[in-house]
Structure 1
Amino acid sequence: MSDTNQSMTNVTAKVQYQGILERMVFSAVTTLPCCVFLFINVTMLFTLRSKPVFCETSRYVLLYNLLFADTVQMALSQVLYLIAASRLILTYPVCGFLTLLASLTTTISPLALVVMSLERYVAVCYPLRHTTIITIRNTGVAIVVIWALGSLNILTRVLLLLEFPFKDLESLQMKDFCSEVAMLLGPRSNDYDRACTCVLFISAGVAISFSYFGVIIAARSASTDKASARKARNTLLLHLVQLCLILSSTIYSSLLMALSQVLSRLVFVRIQNVLYVCIFIFPRCLSSLIYGIRDQTIRPVLVYHLCCRLSPQTYPLRPKSHLRLQGKLTAL
């Protein structure tokens, strides 16, 4: 434990003694891609509420839920990063609120990927029953269950935080910058965090892998639409990649502590910023890239809104083509 604390101290010191110009440069380097990805995600969220076909199709409702959680997580991560770069020391209640909200959205993402993968599995393996199993009502129930499980996780973390003797502190002001690691104030909180992360991602990995191999087996059947099965298989594979990237964010702090022991300050800070963009920022925009580019129904609408409606002739989903596009919704 002392080695871990010393490593975290080294990391903090290296960030703490950066010059103001250097901190401004690195903050700009991380904020720029974050703002770009936030713009894409927000545009995607608006797109998924712009036409009835998106609001009335389960897969797009599930996608909206995933994008919403990822967008909130991305914004909170960048806020916490800028607070640390600005050397602002928060109080425990404020930091606890921000980190618990970030933890909630982190839990929602893998659970949403599981439900979306199961939806693709049903669409390919049980195409005749897909419309009766995957309904808007059942989708709404699934989303409520996802957020209920995430909220239960947060409630448990709050109860563990209440065990910490805050009354014995001279002040509620934190000694270090705000982060999720800094809010693991006791051994039970740390153990619960590790156990919850392992159970969540192992369960999600098993569920998505089951869906993936189920689609592969179904693709060999003569009665299955080969093109639809192939696209669903590729989508599930991308979901596995997303899950791995989200999982990598849980080892971010440990990786930083290991790198701080072998790298110089300047190299370490540069790598830290690259890892932050790759591990925290990019995975939260992957859903928009996957569906925004590959989905033939979303792509023209998304491009239209990304271009700020400067090309009205490209606006899709006109009344004449609405019914035709509904028939393509099971393919990705």
Structure 2
Amino acid sequence: MPNTSQGSEGSLVLPTVQYQRPLNDKVVIVQVFIGIFLCINSLMIVTFFKKEAFFTNTRYIFFAHTLVCDSMFLALTDVLLLMSYSQVPMPGGLCIFLVVILENLTVATPLTLTAMSLERYIAICMPLHHSELSTPVRAMRCILLIQALSSVEWIIVISILFSAVPLSFYTSPLVCSFEQMIVLSWQGHLSSALCQFNFLVMSVVIAFTYVKIMVAARAASSHSKKSTNNGLRTVILHGFQLLLCLIQFWCPMIESAIMKINFNVFIQVRYIDYIIFILAPRCLSPLVYGLRDKDFVVVMKYYGLFGYSKKVDRTRLKIEQGCRHIVDY
């Protein structure tokens, strides 16, 4: 891992690369993995914006926000991965810009999943208030709040960086990574504390919504049993995906400890963490939500097959009038 140190006069010595990672099969696998899901996400985003019934529905708005964030995240992390393996440096100022975007997207996805779980809780446990509380306007305000909360950590980290590095840092070439932004030891501890706080809050919210919906499922009548159980399964899937996202907050600490023991093991562990806890959660959204929604799949199939899907003719009227009631998801 690149590191920084202080010179004899207290000036910051710019990070230096201590290892090289040649292009190999692992990188190729990542390219295929990311390419497939970027195509799927792009088709789903197009599907969302093609039908007014989708972007006037709170659940679909949150889903589209997740798709956009995840697609940007996958693309940017892939660019940095390729540059890192090829040892292609970039100016420090550009690295800061990319890291800021990535850190924002890293937190935005689990926060959006948390908001989606709360929306399910309101739909199932507070059905009489759902139409009032769950509106497109409120969903957009919630997304703005998510983006604001996602910015807290990088604002703190970057503010400390600006005050600690010389002007030459912004033009000097370096292999970009988040570690390059950590120039003081306590800065890293603060970043870790913020990550753990996010983990705790989001875990409590998911647990709360799961318990409440589970209680509602047991008390539901046979008429509403199916929709309630569907909502419970959705929250469970939310929880699993969110768990993978939240474990990502622990990865830097684990990787840092392993690096001090064995650098080769550190490289392997970091690759595994990247696949399981960084890429996988971002690739689950279209599988967990989009492909489980029959109306969404029908419209996506229509545009994916360039209008040759015969099923659309039988369901177009239903889609135009509005998607299935939100509780049925």
Q: TM-score range by the shorter chain?
A: 0.7 to 0.9
Aligned to 1:179: 177
What is the deviation of 1:215? 0.3
Alignment partner, residue 12 of structure 2: none
1:328 aligns with 2:287: no
Deviation at 1:150, TM superposition (A): 2.0
Q: Tell me: higher relative CO, structure 1 or 2? Use CA pairs within 8 A at least 6 residues apart.
A: 1
Please state whether the residue corresponding to 2:98 is helix, strand or coil: helix
- Output one character per residue of 1:238-280: Cα deviation in whole Å (capped at 9) or x when no partner: 1111111112223334444555677795x87666544422222
Matches within 5 A, 1:2-13: 13=18
Whether the aligned pair in 2 keeps the contact of 1:166 and 1:172 (CA below 8 Å) is no
Q: SS at 2:177's partner residue?
A: coil
Q: CA deviation at 1:154?
A: 3.1
2:48 maps to amino acid: L
Are 2:124 and 2:216, in contact at CA under 8 Å, matched by a contact in 1?
yes
Whether the aligned pair in 2 keeps the contact of 1:212 and 1:237 (CA below 8 Å) is yes
Q: Specify the alignment match of 1:49 in structure 2.
A: 49
Q: Tell me the secondary structure at the aligned position of residue 164 of structure 2.
A: coil
Deviation at 1:110, TM superposition (A): 1.5
- Number of residue pairs the alignment of both structures matches: 315
Question: Residue 40 and residue 322 in structure 1: after superposition, are their counterparts in 2 closer, same or farther (change >3 A)?
Answer: closer
Cα separation, 2, equivalents of 1:30 and 1:247:
21
What secondary structure, in the 3-state scheme, does the structure 2 residue paired with 1:311 have?
coil
Looking at structure 1, the residues matched to 235 and 314 of structure 2 have their Cα atoms a distance apart, in angstroms, of 26
Answer yes or no: is the 8 Å Cα contact 2:295–2:319 preserved in 1: no
Unaligned ranges ≥5, structure 2: 6-16
Question: 2:65 is matched with which residue?
Answer: 65
Following the alignment from structure 2 to structure 1, what is the Cα–Cα distance between the partners of residues 159 and 202? 25
2:80·2:176 contact (CA, 8 Å) conserved in 1?
A: yes
Q: What is the percentage of aligned positions where both structures have the same residue? A: 27
Task: Specify the alignment match of 1:246 in structure 2.
Answer: 245
Q: Which residue in the other structure is 1:221 paired with?
A: 219
Distance 1:134 1:276 in 2: 35
> Do residues 283 (structure 1) and 281 (structure 2) align?
yes
- CA distance in structure 2 between the aligned counterparts of 1:55 and 1:170, rounded to whole angstroms: 43
Contact 2:93-2:169 at 8 Å conserved across structures = no
Output one character per residue of 1:12-58: Cα deviation in whole Å (capped at 9) or x when no partner: 75x51x4x5xx153322211111111111111111111211101111
**Which shows bigger deviation, 119-128 or 308-317?**
308-317
Question: How much does 1:119 deviate?
Answer: 0.5
The answer for unaligned runs of 5 or more in structure 1 is: 6-11
Partner Cα separation in structure 2 for residue 304 and residue 79 of structure 1 = 32
Contact 1:77 1:280 in 2 (8 A): no
In the other structure, the counterpart of 1:205 is 203
Question: Aligned AA for 2:150?
Answer: G
How far apart in 1 are the matches of 2:214 and 2:235?
10
Distance 1:153 1:41, change over 3 A: same
